[in-house]
Structure 1
Amino acid sequence: MSMINVEHLSKNYGHSRGIEDISFSVKTGEIIGLIGPNGAGKSTLIRLLLSFIYPDSGEAQIDGIDCLREAKRIKEIVGYVPSEINFYEDMTVAELLRYSARFYKKDCGQRAAELAQLLELDLTKKMTALSYGNKKKVAIVQALQHQPKVLILDEPTGGLDPLMQNNFFALLEQEKEKGTTILFSSHILSEVQKVCDRIAIIREGKLLKFERIDALQESHFKQIELEFFDQPDSFNIPNSSNHQIVGNHVTFLFSGNINDLIDSLHHEAIKDISILDPSLDDVFLHYYERAEAK
């Protein structure tokens, strides 16, 4: 069953980039990585799902609920961590979390305390005394304390140190095991690769690819590393991208028949060759380069 369903969603800001005709669905219990550089349209898509802004066309549902017509019900079942954090500065962390919990008309105290302990968050401190990283922890606890069906995370690890990031990723795995559906926006590919089942690659407001991470890495692509006896004057191999030439070493991503590659190289003076599975970064760059070429 689809927990999130987006159909032909578009938002045009005029001179500023929005999103254009985006469609995808997310199954219950999946973690989806929404990736692209800053300004690609990730935050616009998230704001549309949360009814903070309204689309020019298209529609979206979460758990079968229309995101535009029933925005209040959507907010009851969704937990949201924004990329920018702003809170009432004169409250303590505990006061802020209790205040937030009142919107859900339930006692969230025990869950908030568990999350605060996991994230090493001091509930007695005032918000004004917190670092940016600790404010991000508050946002995470606030988003999770009412045990939502869906988590929407916009660059959630900003300000967290590496150890706390590991605790956060472990928390996401626990939520997934409970059946929580998670939409994780990031421009850091290594983060997405750690926890996500599928990724949606967005460029200039358009959805370039929506696929399982393992399928993107294993299907059609190989990372090729060549060492020549001498530095090559030029290098042109069909079905290749992401070329990097350093001295007599050449690396690139190849997406064709490996026998065709060998035929293309038979006349070259090659000292060594390695054929590897590509990283997610390599695949991401391939789709961006291909989109730029169109």
Structure 2
Amino acid sequence: MNAIETKGLTKSYGKSRGINNLDLIVKQGEFFGFIGPNGAGKSTTIRTLLNLIFKTSGETKIFGLDCEKDSKKIKELIGFVPSEVNYYKHMRVSELLNYAISFKKTPDKDRLDYLCKLLDVDKDKKISDLSLGNKKKIAIIQAIINKPKLLILDEPTNGLDPLIQKRLFKLLKEENENGMTIFFSSHNLVEVQKFCDKVAIIKEGKLIGIKTIGDLLGKDTVKVIIESDDSLDEIITSKEVSNPKQEDNTTSFLYNGNINSLINKLNTINLNSLKIENPSLEESFMSYYEEDC
């Protein structure tokens, strides 16, 4: 069964951009990345799936249930961390989290204590005394405490320090290995590269590709960095080259072709230095983004 499925999903805001004709499938058990720059339509897609806003047209399903007609049932199966978190300021953290676990017939207080300790949360504090990062930690615990079948995360690491981010992703990896489907929306490609199995790329409200991390990185693609005073125009204009950048006497690009052919061409050039390395997801993503859009 698919955890998430959309067909022709469209949300129109009139003159403002929404999402257009989005076809998306997330299989049960996947750690799925949803990537694109700010304003691409990631949050609009998520809010439509959660029935927080209404679609203009198309279909949306979670575990085969209609996101509008079966919204109540769906909410029993999912956890959600929004990109921006707001709570009643005068509540205490303990009150909020105890309320969250009360939705289960047998509240798991041991799990609550474990999560609070893991993410360094003080349950005695008032919400009004919490920083942005601490509020985000509360939202994460609230979303994951009852072990949802599907966890939807919208920029979950905003405001979190590096140590807590590391603990969070260790936790998410464990939950995913235990069967939880994770839909992870982010523009932080380092996080996506480390943890996601597959990614959907969205730009200006349109889905432009769904790829595994391996395919997006490109199995035969390398990053080349050259320092030379000679012209490299013949090389960087070849069809095997993408994302070329030049600054002073340093040129970098992604190369997807016969490496021996590239070396032969470089033998005709006076090189000050040469580096050939694996590209980052960000570099591959930008190349794909610019080329296909």
For the Cα contact (< 8 Å) 2:79–2:144, is it kept in 1?
A: yes
SS of corresponding position for 1:111: helix
In the other structure, the counterpart of 1:252 is 253
Alpha-carbon distance, 1:60 to partner: 1.8
1:198-237 to 2 correspondence within 5 Å?
198-230=198-230, 235-237=236-238
- Within 1, Cα distance between the matches of 2:4 and 2:84? 23
In the other structure, the counterpart of 1:276 is 277
Aligned residues, how many? 292
In the other structure, the counterpart of 1:85 is 85
The amino acid of 1:88's aligned partner reads Y
Alpha-carbon distance, 1:263 to partner: 6.9
Provide Cα deviations, 1:9-36, integer angstroms capped at 9, x if missing partner. 1111122211112212222221111111
In the other structure, the counterpart of 2:142 is 142
In the other structure, the counterpart of 1:98 is 98
Provide Cα deviations, 1:65-93, integer angstroms capped at 9, x if missing partner. 11121011111110000001000111111
Which runs of at least 4 in structure 1 moved beyond 6 Å after TM superposition?
none
RMSD of aligned residue pairs (Cα, Å): 2.2
5+ residue gaps, structure 1, are none
Alpha-carbon distance, 1:199 to partner: 1.1
- Within 2, Cα distance between the matches of 1:158 and 1:4? 24
Alpha-carbon distance, 1:239 to partner: 3.7
- Within 1, Cα distance between the matches of 2:135 and 2:9? 32
- Within 2, Cα distance between the matches of 1:178 and 1:214? 23
Structure 1 residue 197 corresponds to structure 2 residue 197 = yes
SS of corresponding position for 1:224: strand
For the Cα contact (< 8 Å) 1:11–1:57, is it kept in 2?
A: yes
1:120-131 to 2 correspondence within 5 Å?
120-131=120-131
For the Cα contact (< 8 Å) 1:237–1:261, is it kept in 2?
A: no
- Within 1, Cα distance between the matches of 2:31 and 2:220? 24
In the other structure, the counterpart of 2:13 is 13
Alpha-carbon distance, 1:255 to partner: 3.4
For the Cα contact (< 8 Å) 1:37–1:187, is it kept in 2?
A: yes
Q: Which region of structure 1 is more displaced relative to structure 2, 41-50 or 240-249? A: 240-249
- Within 1, Cα distance between the matches of 2:61 and 2:165? 30
In the other structure, the counterpart of 1:111 is 111
Q: Among the aligned pairs, what percent are the same residue?
A: 48
SS of corresponding position for 2:29: coil
For the Cα contact (< 8 Å) 1:151–1:181, is it kept in 2?
A: yes
For the Cα contact (< 8 Å) 1:237–1:264, is it kept in 2?
A: no
For the Cα contact (< 8 Å) 1:231–1:248, is it kept in 2?
A: no
- Within 2, Cα distance between the matches of 1:121 and 1:287? 40
SS of corresponding position for 1:21: strand
Alpha-carbon distance, 1:218 to partner: 3.2
For the Cα contact (< 8 Å) 2:34–2:185, is it kept in 1?
A: yes
Q: Which region of structure 1 is more displaced relative to structure 2, 230-239 or 276-285? A: 230-239
5+ residue gaps, structure 2, are none
SS of corresponding position for 2:76: helix
Q: Which region of structure 1 is more displaced relative to structure 2, 254-263 or 62-71? A: 254-263
TM-score, normalised relative to structure 1: 0.91
- Within 2, Cα distance between the matches of 1:108 and 1:89? 25
Compared CA separation, residues 291 and 209, structure 1 to 2 (3 A): same
Provide Cα deviations, 1:196-253, integer angstroms capped at 9, x if missing partner. 1111111111112211112221335322222324465785232422211122221111
TM-score, normalised relative to structure 2: 0.91
In the other structure, the counterpart of 1:23 is 23
Compared CA separation, residues 104 and 162, structure 1 to 2 (3 A): same
